[in-house]
Amino acid sequence: DFDADGAEGLEYAHSRSAAMAQRGDGSSGSSYTGIEIAPNVFMLDKSMVYDLFGGVKVAAVAGRYDALSYEDASALGKSCAKTNGEVTEDDVREMKDCFDEMKKRDVIDIFLCRDWPAGTLEVHGREIGREAKSASSTGSPVARALALALSPRYHFAGSHPFFFEREPYINAKSDPSSSPWVTRFINLAGCANEDSEKWMHALKIEPGSTIDRALLCKIPPD
């Protein structure tokens, strides 16, 4: 059995990083696929758009949102934010730069971020609990802005200790025709949590960039 949480997992990650360095694999750019911490398990450690799994595009932002740290543009503030695992304006700018470099027909299939986006449940069609309402009202404006800009097909967060899946919605823009496909927002609970809340989610997904636009933009019944 492979113990990815223990010394064996760390040793494996270090060996893979060393192998990548010897091959000259870059730590950035479209060919970068993150750090392999176990066989076929990758940590997406940089804020960028990853081109994975035969064309599936995954946007990832590393770090949690803190309003004071995010607004501190000084070199010391950015350094402290990185040390504390907090997202910075540089992270967001790097993400947007990657997105702007994508081809016109390319689609962000999955957006990964720690924080629940602010206002996710301002408009919804289902009965929701108090925890989800609180998470939406106190969520991250950065995650919200990125979700609006990226219009991902799936948006995953993990800042709250419960599983939640919002009904599909369309990220409204000034030009709705630019990305009329739906987004599915999902919050996953902490890994192996004691409350048995769902913390893994499998997807069978075809790259959105290869799907016929009419099919991609079809509004699902659920």
State pLDDT tens for residues 35-59: 887 787 888 888 899 988 788 999 9
Looking at the predicted structure, is the pLDDT value of residue 24 above 60? no
Picking from 45, 47, 32, 35, the residue whose alpha carbon sits closest to that of residue 98 is 47
Q: Tens digits of per-residue pLDDT, 111-138?
A: 999 999 998 887 666 667 888 888 888 8
Sign of the Cα pseudo-torsion (83, 90, 58, 147, in order): positive
Q: Tens digits of per-residue pLDDT, 155-171?
A: 999 989 999 999 888 87
Q: What pLDDT does residue 21 have?
A: 55
| Domain housing 84 | 44-216
Q: What pLDDT does residue 167 have?
A: 87
Report how far residue 93's alpha carbon sits from residue 81's, in angstroms, rounded to the nearest whole number.
15
Looking at the predicted structure, is the pLDDT value of residue 22 above 90? no
> 198-207 burial by CB neighbour count: b if 16+ within 10 A, else e?
ebeeeeeeeb
Report how far residue 196's alpha carbon sits from residue 138's, in angstroms, rounded to the nearest whole number.
24
Residue 151 contacts residue 108 (beta carbons within 8 Å): yes
Q: What pLDDT does residue 52 have?
A: 83
How many structural domains comprise the chain? 1
Residue 26, domain member (yes or no): no
Looking at the predicted structure, is the pLDDT value of residue 26 above 70? no
Structure tokens at 181: 């496909």
Residue 205, domain member (yes or no): yes
Q: What phi and psi, each to the nearest 5 degrees, are found at residue 220?
A: -75, 155
Structure tokens at 34: 């993150």
Report how far residue 138's alpha carbon sits from residue 133's, in angstroms, rounded to the nearest whole number.
9
What single letter denotes the amino acid at residue 178?
A: S
**13 against 191, higher pLDDT:** 191
pLDDT band at 104 (very low <50, low <70, confident <90, very high): confident
Residue 15, domain member (yes or no): no
- Supply the mean pLDDT for the chain: 82
Residue 30, domain member (yes or no): no
Residue 127, domain member (yes or no): yes
Residue 19, domain member (yes or no): no
Residue 208, domain member (yes or no): yes
CA atoms within 13 A on the CB side of 212: 3
Residue 5, domain member (yes or no): no
In this structure, the number of other CB atoms found within 10 A of the CB of residue 191 comes to 9
Picking from 98, 105, 107, 103, the residue whose alpha carbon sits closest to that of residue 56 is 107
Structure tokens at 156: 């995953």
Q: Whose structure tokens read 């609006």?
A: 148
Report how far residue 2's alpha carbon sits from residue 39's, in angstroms, rounded to the nearest whole number.
9
Looking at the predicted structure, is the pLDDT value of residue 10 above 70? no
Report how far residue 146's alpha carbon sits from residue 136's, in angstroms, rounded to the nearest whole number.
15
pLDDT band at 2 (very low <50, low <70, confident <90, very high): very low
